[in-house]
Amino acid sequence: MSIFLEALSRHIWELKYRYHQADKIIDHTIEDTWQRVAKAVARAEKPAERLHWQKQFYALLAGFRFLPGGRILAGAGTKHKVTLFNCFVMNIAEDSLAGIFKALQEGAITLQAGGGVGYDFSVLRPRGELVRKTGIASSGPVSFMKIWNTTCGVLLSTGTRRGAMMAVMRCDHPDIEEFITAKADPLELRHFNVSVLVSDAFMQAVKTDAEWNLVFPVIEGEKTTNDVVVQTWNGKANVPCRVYRRVKARELWGRIIKNAYDYAEPGVLFEDTINRMNTLHYCEWIGATNPCGEIPLPAYGACNLGSINLTQFVLDPFTEQARLDWDGIEKCSAVATRFLDNVIDVSLYPLKEQKKQALATRRIGLGLTGLADAFVMLGVRYGSDESLRLASKIMRCISTVTWQTSAELAGEKGSFPLYQQEAYLSGEYVKTLAPEIRASIGKYGMRNSHHNTIAPTGTISLLANNVSSGIEPIFGEAYERYVILPDGEREKFLVTDYVLQLWRKRGGSEKLPPAWVDSRDLLPVDHLNMQSALQPFIDNAISKTINLPGDFPFGGLSDVYTKAYHLGLKGCTIYRPNLITGSVLQCCL
């Protein structure tokens, strides 16, 4: 009997993860894929222990209990020259033509190897600013983003497996208004996600309805005017910045929200929250994220992701005895932590700078998926107080095991090179950890600088028979899903949510399970509350999209991003079907 319950699930395996060498099929079954990956990742262990860990990793993967990032499934154990890391944050080292095109080249190499890329475009001077060497006015950051977009499109047209791109801009950059509306044109920047980097100072200005300076650092050799302020810029204190214009902070905030409502972008990233809670606060500053926002990263940082599929840890589903297999979750979390740590050592890296950064910090991002489906199996309604408490308990469990395992791995294999015990233990996030974890850190050190994240898990959740993705609610009972094929065409599939398939298979007498809740039943605040319930146990970030129906009133959205900030979230994104972006998912019932 096939493990695939959906035609789309098998299609995704064959299209993205099944190993071929030219016309020769290597992975005859999904079990072959799991065995290939397990064997490859176990190579990071001592020779005498490799077979033991290969068996452990295979058991971890079997039955979709653990879903490693798609690049791991596609590349581990193959002869393809690809990276096992899903995404990278790149670096525009300097505001010059040479710096820009070096960054473009590095991005193209990374995309070609299968990694997504994120950039902070704030480092580029605003439109109209004269370039001192030539006397020619700069065309501004958004114009250069179009070159990246074209490059990504060319790579896609050649059949190259490529990742998405993220563009970030500071909320005080002079071109911020152009950036906010950059994707209003349906023909522009289709390969980019865009997010605004929002500071505490800006949110305070929004609160008080104050004026807001749009600034850029004084360029070397530039004659300064009286309109210069000294402020923090991209993590550097006391930077002289020229004030280009002043706007009302509340009006700018309103434009961000209106464009998000109309075109589903930009998202927002909360700069000071990200950096204040960064476990490596003492040696790096973060100004960008990977394309889906779940991993804030420094220049050349990489995300190494995996998710525990909660649907496989529910005992006696749909009954009064339904419960979670907590022991199973703990064991899975421990082995998955080791698995992801090993990936760092067996992966290829498109650039030497990326390898250097990955080995220096050994970041991993272990999270979960299938949360909403698991709730239904347990008889818990998504968005209820009970669901928030249970979500917190689950993520606390995973986080505790991940941190404890990382400390023990440090005792076995050594701490990450940038580890400084006193500075690390003094971090705002690390100070929230349980005393026993902090004691283990003090005893052993720390193998990985960062440990937990929640990724969108879109494709790998579809692979696992369409379980609900990440911490998102169930989208609907049955819906149409469009998949982009290698030739750029879209193919339509009708899919049913995993938990509904299971309910029917077990003879559910009602149309829907009693605890069924889908995205149409929820308000934005329900999404935010769920994200907030898990954020305390996530040292990276959470990819969360607030999906809204097309007829959702704008007035109901106006305070969503503000509430996200006050809840201590690191970012927020909404999605409402619209004429520009359309809809990837369409309900059929």
Q: For residue 587, is pLDDT > 70?
A: no
Residue 341 backbone dihedrals phi, psi, to 5 degrees: -65, -40
Catalytic residue among 290, 452, 465, 529: 290
Q: For residue 515, is pLDDT > 70?
A: yes
Among this protein's residues, is 304 annotated catalytic? Answer: no
Model pLDDT, residue 159: 52
In contact, 496 and 373? CB cutoff 8 Å: no
Among this protein's residues, is 290 annotated catalytic? Answer: yes
Average pLDDT over residues 321-347: 98
Model pTM score: 0.95
Q: 399 in the Ramachandran plot: left (φ > 0), alpha (ψ -120 to 50) or beta? A: alpha
Residue 404 CB neighbours (<10 A): 21
Q: How far is CA 298 from CA 119, 186, 256, 356, in A?
A: 10, 31, 25, 12
Percent of the chain scored above 90 by pLDDT? 79
Token pair belonging to 43:
């190579």
Residue 443 CB neighbours (<10 A): 11
Which pLDDT band holds residue 156 (cuts at 50, 70, 90)?
confident
Separation CA 310–CA 22 (nearest Å):
36
Q: Please name the residues in contact with 248: beta carbons below 8 A apart, sequence gap of 6 or more.
A: 209, 210, 211, 212
User: Among residues 19, 21, 57, which one has the least CA distance to residue 39?
Assistant: 57
**Using one digit for the tens of pLDDT, what is the confidence trace for 158-190?**
554 556 899 999 999 999 999 999 999 888 898
Alpha-carbon Rg for the chain in angstroms: 23
Model pLDDT, residue 578: 78
Which residues pair with residue 366 across a beta bridge? 306, 452
User: Among residues 350, 377, 382, 347, which one has the least CA distance to residue 362?
Assistant: 347
Residue 95 backbone dihedrals phi, psi, to 5 degrees: -85, 75
Which residues pair with residue 491 across a beta bridge? 483
Token pair belonging to 446:
């720390």
Query: Going by DSSP bridges, is the β-strand pair 87-89/116-120 parallel, antiparallel, or unpaired?
Result: parallel
Separation CA 208–CA 393 (nearest Å):
37
Which pLDDT band holds residue 589 (cuts at 50, 70, 90)?
very low
Token pair belonging to 270:
């909360």
Average pLDDT over residues 448-474: 95
Average pLDDT over residues 439-447: 98
Residue 304 backbone dihedrals phi, psi, to 5 degrees: -125, 100
Q: For residue 297, is pLDDT > 90?
A: yes
Q: For residue 226, is pLDDT > 90?
A: no
Question: For 265-331, what is the HEC assignment?
Answer: CCEEEEHHHHHHCCCCCCCCCCCEECCCCCCEECCCCEECEEEEEHHHHEECCCCCCCEECHHHHHH
Percent of the chain scored above 70 by pLDDT? 96
Q: Burial of 398 by CB count in 10 Å (0-12 exposed, 13-18 middle, 19+ buried)? A: buried
Separation CA 112–CA 163 (nearest Å):
8
Token pair belonging to 573:
């994104």
Print burial letters for 414-427: b (CB count within 10 Å at least 16), e (below 16).
ebbebbeeeebeeb
Separation CA 159–CA 178 (nearest Å):
32
Q: For residue 137, is pLDDT > 90?
A: no
Separation CA 163–CA 302 (nearest Å):
13
Among this protein's residues, is 294 annotated catalytic? Answer: yes
Which residues pair with residue 492 across a beta bridge? 482
DSSP tag of 114: T
Separation CA 282–CA 299 (nearest Å):
15
Name the residue type at position 339: F
Average pLDDT over residues 205-232: 89
- For 259-263, 358-362, 418-422, which range has the lowest pLDDT when averaged over its residues? 259-263
In contact, 475 and 547? CB cutoff 8 Å: yes
pLDDT, greater one: 487 or 569: 569
Token pair belonging to 374:
């698991």
Query: Going by DSSP bridges, is the β-strand pair 192-198/165-170 parallel, antiparallel, or unpaired?
Result: parallel
Catalytic residue among 292, 303, 397, 572: 292
In contact, 467 and 66? CB cutoff 8 Å: no
**Using one digit for the tens of pLDDT, what is the confidence trace for 369-394?**
999 999 999 999 999 999 999 999 99
Model pLDDT, residue 218: 92
Model pLDDT, residue 481: 84
pLDDT, greater one: 547 or 1: 547
Q: For residue 141, is pLDDT > 90?
A: yes
**Using one digit for the tens of pLDDT, what is the confidence trace for 537-570?**
999 999 999 888 888 888 877 788 999 999 999 9
Please tell me whether residue 495 adopts helix, strand or coil conformation.
strand
Model pLDDT, residue 555: 81
Any idea how long the chain is? Answer: 589
Catalytic residue among 275, 294, 342, 540: 294
Model pLDDT, residue 160: 47
In contact, 242 and 204? CB cutoff 8 Å: no
Model pLDDT, residue 588: 44
Average pLDDT over residues 474-489: 81
Average pLDDT over residues 402-412: 98
Query: Going by DSSP bridges, is the β-strand pair 236-248/228-233 parallel, antiparallel, or unpaired?
Result: antiparallel
**Using one digit for the tens of pLDDT, what is the confidence trace for 27-60?**
999 999 999 999 999 999 999 999 999 999 999 9
Model pLDDT, residue 132: 66
In order of start, what are the domains of the chain with their CATH numbers? Answer: 1-86+304-544 (3.20.70.20), 94-289 (3.20.70.20)
Token pair belonging to 81:
């020259």
Residue 317 CB neighbours (<10 A): 20
- Cα 290 off chain centre by: 6
**Using one digit for the tens of pLDDT, what is the confidence trace for 336-360?**
999 999 999 999 999 999 999 999 9
Separation CA 155–CA 491 (nearest Å):
21
